[in-house]
């Protein structure tokens, strides 16, 4: 893989990186198969998507140290490569310790939001199965929020967002069936897209239909790892 800086999205506020074909098709297939074979109780079903949290959901914004690490089937093809890119060099655990798996049916999405300060401000998102547009919004106090930037996430790609882009902007996925008006002027990572994606989008007049479910894996470093020994001690004293 080339140096991280060669994947920088220069049009976006500091900083974001986009790497197409971060995973091979075999790695993608294997991940999808594993994700789908996890017991259904492992999914949290929301009205507009469903999700799995690994190793566990957060408790009061922290990870329990008794929780295992992110399981190998989920981490192995991704986490070491993100470490090699150097993105966790300054994070508290020098590594991702948490992964959220979001699954969106066609027409589903996620409201504009911030990921907040429970996490070190760095997100590594791998997309599986289908492409989708992530919208970036400025924080505006008055009036409706406006889409400021658009990032097209191909399947098997890695998107890294950090710094001001993490702390000063919101992100979301619209609940629509067609991502439209996609071209070199509207898509911030157009130049870094695979040729195949660019050709397909151009052939379809800048439109991508969401036909299949799209899965995202968002890897982060949760700042606080709760000291379970201390909690047990405190409880015993109560
Ligand atoms: O699915 C995505 O790419 C975004 C997910 C997201 O924003 C989140 O899990 O906080
Ligand atoms: Fe998010």
Give, for ligand 1, the residue of 109, 171, 175, 179 to mutate: max count of ligand atoms closer than 8 Å to Cβ. 171
pLDDT of residue 115: 95
Q: Is 162 in the pocket of ligand 1 (CB under 6 A)?
A: no
CB contact set of 103 (below 8 Å; sequence gap of 6+): 35, 43, 49, 50, 51, 213, 214, 215
Tokens of 28: 């993608």
Residue 130 three-state SS: coil
Q: How far apart are CA 132 and CA 108, in angstroms?
A: 11
Average pLDDT, the chain: 93
Tokens of 110: 């996620």
Rounded alpha-carbon distances, angstroms, from residue 113 to 15, 62, 168: 18, 19, 11
pLDDT of residue 230: 61
Q: Give pTM, 2 decimals.
A: 0.93
Rounded to the nearest angstrom, the distance between the alpha carbon of 203 and the centre of ligand 1 is 28
pLDDT of residue 234: 58
Give, for ligand 1, the residue of 109, 134, 159, 210 to mutate: max count of ligand atoms closer than 8 Å to Cβ. 134
The size of the chain, in residues, is 238
Question: Residues 187-209: what's their mean pLDDT?
Answer: 98
Ligand located closest to 132 CA: 1
Confidence of residue 232 (pLDDT cuts 50, 70, 90): low
Q: Write the ipTM.
A: 0.99
């Amino acid at each position: 893989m080339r140096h991280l800086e060669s994947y920088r999205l220069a049009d976006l506020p500091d900083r974001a990186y986009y790497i197409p074909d971060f995973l091979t098709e075999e790695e993608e297939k294997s991940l999808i198969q594993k994700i789908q074979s996890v017991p259904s109780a492992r999914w949290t079903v929301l009205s507009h998507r469903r999700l799995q949290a690994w190793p566990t959901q957060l408790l009061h914004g922290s990870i329990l140290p008794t929780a295992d690490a992110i399981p190998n089937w989920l981490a192995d093809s991704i986490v070491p490569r993100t470490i090699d890119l150097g993105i966790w060099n300054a994070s508290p655990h020098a590594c991702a310790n948490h992964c959220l798996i979001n699954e969106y049916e066609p027409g589903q999405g996620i409201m504009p939001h911030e990921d907040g300060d429970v996490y070190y401000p760095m997100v590594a998102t791998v997309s599986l199965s289908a492409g989708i547009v992530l919208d970036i919004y400025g924080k505006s106090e008055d009036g409706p929020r406006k889409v400021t930037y658009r990032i097209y996430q191909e399947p098997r790609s890695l998107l890294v967002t950090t710094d001001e882009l993490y702390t000063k902007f919101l992100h979301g996925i619209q609940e629509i069936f067609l991502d439209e008006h996609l071209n070199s002027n509207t898509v911030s990572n157009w130049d870094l897209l695979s040729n195949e994606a660019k050709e397909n989008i151009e052939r379809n007049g800048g439109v991508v239909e969401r036909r299949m479910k799209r899965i995202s894996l968002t890897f982060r470093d949760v700042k606080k790892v709760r000291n379970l020994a201390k909690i047990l001690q405190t409880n015993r004293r109560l």
